[in-house]
Amino acid sequence: MPRPTNESMIYSHIDLEYVNTHNDVSTQLPLSCHHAKIIRADQGYSAMGIPDYMFVDEGSGTLLGIMEVKTFWKVSFESIEEVITGNPCTILR
């Protein structure tokens, strides 16, 4: 698979390396090790905005988490610090 050069290409890598693997393995676990399924986009779940990926419990229909894809070449140390510190003035620029 070619190195990603845009956000759409990153999805292919994430799907192949993480989403498909996680979802395949989680269906083979015993019921006592229940795991959420990772799905792409909204698919009818109520979330603020439309995240790139969602962790959902298909049995209960509960949204458990979201994952937003960002191109790594556009992420800076400062932007990571802004998210960690929760400074809304800089996050919402």
Q: Residue range 1-30: average pLDDT?
A: 84
Domain boundaries, the chain: 7-91
Local confidence band at 22 (pLDDT 50, 70, 90 cut-offs): confident
Pick from 54, 65, 74: which is nearest to 10 by CA? 74
Pick from 14, 26, 27: which is nearest to 67 by CA? 14
DSSP 22-85: HHHHHTTS-GGG--PEEEES-TT---SS--SEEEEETTTTEEEEEE----GGG--HHHHHHHHH
Predicted TM-score (pTM) of the model is: 0.65
Q: Kindly report the average pLDDT of the chain as a whole number.
A: 77
The 10s digit of each residue's pLDDT in 24-64 is 888 877 766 677 889 887 666 666 667 888 888 877 878 88
User: Per-residue pLDDT for 92 more than 50?
Assistant: no
Half-sphere exposure of 11 (CA within 13 A, CB side): 11
